[in-house]
Chain A
Amino acid sequence: MKRTFFLFSLVFSGVFCLAGCQGSKGPQSNTFKIGVITSLTGSNAAFGQAHKNGYTIALEEINARGGLLGKKVELDYYDDQSRPDQAVQGVSKLVDQDRVPIVLGAYSSESTRAIVPVVTQKQVPLIMPTAVADNVMESNSPWVFRICAGSSSFALATLDFLKNNGDPKKLAIVYENTNFGQANNKSMTEAAKAAGLELVDSEAYQASSPDYKSLLQRVKGKNPEVIYFASYLLDASTLMRQSEQLGLNPKYYTSAGTGFAAAEFPTQDKGAGKYAEYTFSVSQWLPSAKWKGSTEFDEKYFKLAGSHPAYHGMEAYAVMVVAAAAIDKAKSEQAQAIRDAIKDVNLPETPFGPVKFDARGQNQHPVLVTQVQGGQYKVVWPSDAAESKPIIPTPEWSKRP
């Protein structure tokens, strides 16, 4: 008994010492830690892995150049398990315990919205790679920055494409019922109204359900010309498979990117396979993008992951590039100084295009429209960036080979 107690106290004092030492050692150590929150497990793990690949490539490049402020850079990952409450815990762990001066992440809009008030309160800058819901920027916090385009840009790009390609009038929105889907529903509803489209149906659903047939049945009954999906990957695949089963035939399948733009989506073993064919999606970047460095990133990514990247991996890479530029310029490991430097970041040439934040912390990023053609994403809009012509109307399921 006495010995057990002794052992326990030994272990505990060891643990505390470790924690304590790490905390106090922080500023003097010879590595520079950058905090990253993403979804390495849970239902969004595919996107979290894309993030990790993007971060890894950027990290290797930065360290190959000699790191930051003369120190080797290290990424301090926190896995939010695709859950917002875990993302919040992640900020506490990274900032209070590991003392990182900057946080990148999270993956989903849901998790990102949850951590905005936390980083604001802890006064640590946050750069968001992929949160599309516009409400992540609503707080006007001076500590948050977003590199990707938001849900209203997605809606406007889609409507612009539709207006110039057949001008359909009857729209249905199908969206997953967390922040990402809700925000896209709201943006599209407003934008469609302004553009004079008739919204015949708007359906929320629970992601990771095995069965959307009744939901799609309902949509079919409303007879829309266009369906606009806001979905993650697992649900996007299921929705398309079951659309075929029910013979749901709108003229356009469009979407707010994400699941419908994931590298896995058009593949047979991880996505919807042939059922992904002809679907339209907004996109923020593709390996074929004209920006300098896009091809190199694609090659490095392929070497690392064995697959070509979608825009989620690139956005993670890009926030890392921005963070590095800001830290170099700030010449400081203080959160405040880094934040001020991010505000002044002006990178006219990154593989993700020009990056510069406006007064609210938003980067103005152009949105493309793609279509899956022959299992590949092809840019079809705007016309000056188009790689191929859109195929419309979408062939009916019964007439496909």
Chain B
Amino acid sequence: MGNWLYALLQAIVNGLLTGALYALIGMGMALIFGVMRIVNFAHGAFLMMGMYTTYVLFQATGISPYYQFPVAGVLLFFVGYATYMGLLRRIRGQVDFMVILLTMGLALILVDGAQLVFGADYHQINIPLLSKNIRIGSQISINAPWLVSFALAMALAGALYWVVTRTMFGRAARAIAQNPYAAPLMGINVHQVQAIAFGIGSAAAGVAGALLLPVFYLFPEVGNQFKLKSFVMVVLGGMGSIQGAAIAGLVLGIVENLTSLYWGNEWALAVDFVLFILVLSLKPSGIFGSQRA
């Protein structure tokens, strides 16, 4: 086999590894957008909170993030739930711009709050797993924590999909997405379901943050780049389709890595947004989305 083939395979593997984390972040965003048509500008800040929670817990107890990531998920669920019940519910029915302002403001408060408490300095953690690499053949290598993060992210993405498609809550959420006026007539407690959806979406960001921590570093503004990417995923995946966003996450990971391999890393972000604009203008329903009602 030629070297180019190994390089290609390695890039695809790398793409899948990062893509799985993107997918989890994007699914959270898509769930919130799908059920409420809310563009959550605080999504990146929630991810940052997940990272800091995991970091603080790791510093205090020394327990690997791979065991304690659910804590970040649970905490962020309640943060999301409270955000909806305490803030967003009050401005439902008003112009969308209000929602953008509110979530943006919330993001600013959270990011600056983190800066106040933890400082602007960045932090990283070291777990023994970090120095382990798994080699497939002689050429392809996978860093162990990336693989664990990938596996957990995929499992959680699957669980999230199951919740939305198979449970009573999921059915109610999809009913609201389909028609927010008819849903309450069918006996659905709209606010309750939306609050839970917002909570689950936020929890997805929080857990993604927790899984990102071992392979990345954290600082208060860490969420921004992931927030931007999650917008791209929601659009590519078809405006609120969570399986679409998941696939879009994986695709984005692979496209970025292939761009990086063949054109250079500086183009990776540009390609993301070229895709974004192309899809918005040519196929607004998303690459993977069917036409929604």
Contact = CB atoms under 8 A, between A and B. Distances in A.
Interface in B248-263: 256-258, 260-261
Interface stretch (B7-15, B60-68, B162-170): B7-15
Given A214-B11, A246-B141, A43 B265 contact: no
Given A213-B257, A221-B3, A247-B141, A45 B120 contact: yes
A221 B212 contact: no
Contact of B124 (A40, A214, A247, A270): A270
Interface in A24-41: 40-41
A400 to B, nearest CB: 11
A4 interface: no
B7 A221 contact: yes
A153 to B, nearest CB: 25
Nearest to A46: B121
B79 interface: no
A238 B119 CA distance: 21
Of the four ranges (under 10, 10 to 19, 20 to 34, 35 or more), the interface on chain B belongs to: 35 or more
B18 A234 contact: no
Interface in A192-223: 203-206, 208-215, 217-218, 221
Interface in B1-40: 3-4, 7, 10-11, 14-15, 18
B178 interface: no
A86 interface: no
A203 B264 contact: yes
A211 B14 contact: yes
A268 B219 contact: no
B269 interface: yes
A268 B141 contact: no
A237 interface: yes
Contact of B265 (A204, A268, A269): A204
Contacts of B94: none
Of the four ranges (under 10, 10 to 19, 20 to 34, 35 or more), the interface on chain A belongs to: 35 or more
A245 B141 contact: yes
Given A215-B260, A273-B126, A42 B120 contact: yes
A40 B143 CA distance: 33
B217 interface: yes
A294 interface: no
Nearest to B132: A245
A206 B122 contact: no
Interface string A232-250: 0010011001101111000
Interface string B140-174: 01010000000000000000000000000000000
A74 B14 CA distance: 51
Contacts of B189: none
Contacts, number: 97
Given A41-B120, A42-B120, A210 B126 contact: no
Contacts of A247: 141
B225 A214 contact: no
A394 interface: no
A208 B225 contact: yes
A295 interface: no
Given A208-B225, A221-B3, A245-B143, A203 B265 contact: yes
Contacts of A46: 121-122
Contacts of A221: 3-4, 7
Contact of B258 (A204, A214, A270): A214
Contact of A214 (B4, B212, B216, B257): B257
Given A41-B115, A206-B266, A210-B18, A217 B121 contact: no
Contacts of A211: 14, 18, 256-257
Interface in B106-126: 115, 119-124, 126
B14 A214 contact: yes
A210 B220 CA distance: 15
A221 B261 CA distance: 10
B133 interface: yes
A49 B119 CA distance: 11
Interface string A146-176: 0000000000000000000000000000000
A217 B141 contact: no
A277 to B, nearest CB: 13
A40 B120 contact: yes
A217 B266 contact: no
Nearest to B268: A206
Contacts of B133: 244-245
A43 to B, nearest CB: 7
Counting chain A CB atoms within 10 Å of each CB, the highest count among B115, B124, B130 belongs to: B124
A213 B124 contact: no
Contacts of B126: 268-269, 273
28 contacts: A41-B120, A41-B220, A42-B219, A43-B122, A43-B221, A45-B219, A203-B264, A204-B264, A206-B265, A208-B225, A209-B225, A210-B216, A211-B257, A212-B265, A214-B14, A214-B258, A214-B260, A215-B261, A218-B261, A218-B264, A234-B122, A234-B217, A237-B124, A244-B133, A245-B143, A246-B10, A270-B123, A270-B124
Interface of A: 40-43, 45-46, 49, 177, 203-206, 208-215, 217-218, 221, 234, 237-238, 241-242, 244-247, 268-270, 273
3 tightest A-B contacts by CB? A41-B120, A214-B260, A205-B265
Interface of B: 3-4, 7, 10-11, 14-15, 18, 115, 119-124, 126, 130-131, 133, 141, 143, 212, 215-217, 219-221, 225, 256-258, 260-261, 264-266, 268-269
